[in-house]
């Protein structure tokens, strides 16, 4: 997929305020500092998008972007951020979960996992929650600039997942520094967009 345009639309604190849309939607989530803004930037090739997502105030919001005028990229608040109270962390997480459970045109959630560190409980817990709630998700291992160094972390994470699943969920390995994985992630979104269109036409 060639990115022809990428623009910021709006931010919402409540999923119920997100406007109804017939466009396929893909949401990005992960622990704070996992490299979410850098990945979004790398995928879309637009520095301004990540800048919006990093603006104080917007980091706790559901941030909407329109890509190629035919799909939505949604930047969700990072979880596990230590600098805020447990109470507001719970509030963001509840909001994010409500969005995932209720948003009708949400095609996939991309959960970002830092490939430079060993498996984290908070990531596995969130993944479990998505699986239990029937949220379609894909794993993205980020910051893989040095594949041989990170390989053990990715393998350890996969081993944790295999404790719960017979098969591994679909995953991609990316680096915002080298643009590794860019074509694969965008190709996957392209494919899903087509499937979404077909299904949508059938429903008419």
Ligand X SMILES: Nc1nc2c(ncn2[C@@H]2O[C@H](COP(=O)(O)OP(=O)(O)O)[C@@H](O)[C@H]2O)c(=O)[nH]1
Distance, in Å, from the CA atom of 27 to the CA atom of 191, rounded to the nearest integer, reads 16
Measure CA 39 to chain center. Answer: 9
Instruction: Please answer whether residues 95 and 14 qualify as being in contact, where contact means their C-beta atoms are separated by less than 8 angstroms.
Output: yes
Q: Is residue 167 within a helix (H) or strand (E), and if so which, with residue range?
A: none
In the shown chain, the binding pattern of residues 52 to 81 toward Mg ion, with x for contact by CB under 5 A and - for none, equals --x---------------------------
Q: Is residue 55 involved in binding ligand X (CB under 6 A)?
A: no
Q: Which of 11, 37, 60, 139 binds ligand X (CB under 6 A)?
A: 37
Q: Which of 27, 29, 34, 100 binds ligand X (CB under 6 A)?
A: 34
> Out of ligand X, Mg ion, none, which partner does residue 143 contact, by CB within 5 to 8 A per kind?
ligand X
In the shown chain, the binding pattern of residues 135 to 174 toward ligand X, with x for contact by CB under 6 A and - for none, equals -------xx-x-----------------------------
Edge-to-edge strand order for the sheet containing 62-67?
6-12, 62-67, 71-75, 25-30, 106-114, 137-142, 171-173
Instruction: Summarize as ranges the residues that interact with ligand X (CB under 6 A).
Output: 30, 32-38, 78, 142-143, 145, 175-177
């Amino acid at each position: 997929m060639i990115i022809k345009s990428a623009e910021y639309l709006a931010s919402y604190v409540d999923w119920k305020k997100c406007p109804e849309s017939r466009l396929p939607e893909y949401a990005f989530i992960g622990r704070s500092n996992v490299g979410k803004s850098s990945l979004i930037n790398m995928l879309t090739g637009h520095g301004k998008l990540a800048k919006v997502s990093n603006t104080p105030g917007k980091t706790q919001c559901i941030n909407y972007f329109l890509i190629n005028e035919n799909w939505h990229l949604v930047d969700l608040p990072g979880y596990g951020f230590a600098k805020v109270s447990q109470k507001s962390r719970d509030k963001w997480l509840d909001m994010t979960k409500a969005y995932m459970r209720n948003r009708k045109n949400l095609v996939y959630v991309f959960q970002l996992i830092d490939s430079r560190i060993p498996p984290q409980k908070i990531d596995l817990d969130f993944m479990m929650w998505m699986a239990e709630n029937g949220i379609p998700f894909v794993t993205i291992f980020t910051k893989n600039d040095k594949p041989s160094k990170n390989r053990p972390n990715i393998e350890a994470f996969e081993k944790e997942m295999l404790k719960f699943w017979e098969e591994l969920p679909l995953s991609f390995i990316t680096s915002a520094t080298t643009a590794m994985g860019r074509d694969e992630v965008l190709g996957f979104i392209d494919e899903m967009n087509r499937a979404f269109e077909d299904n949508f036409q059938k429903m008419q």
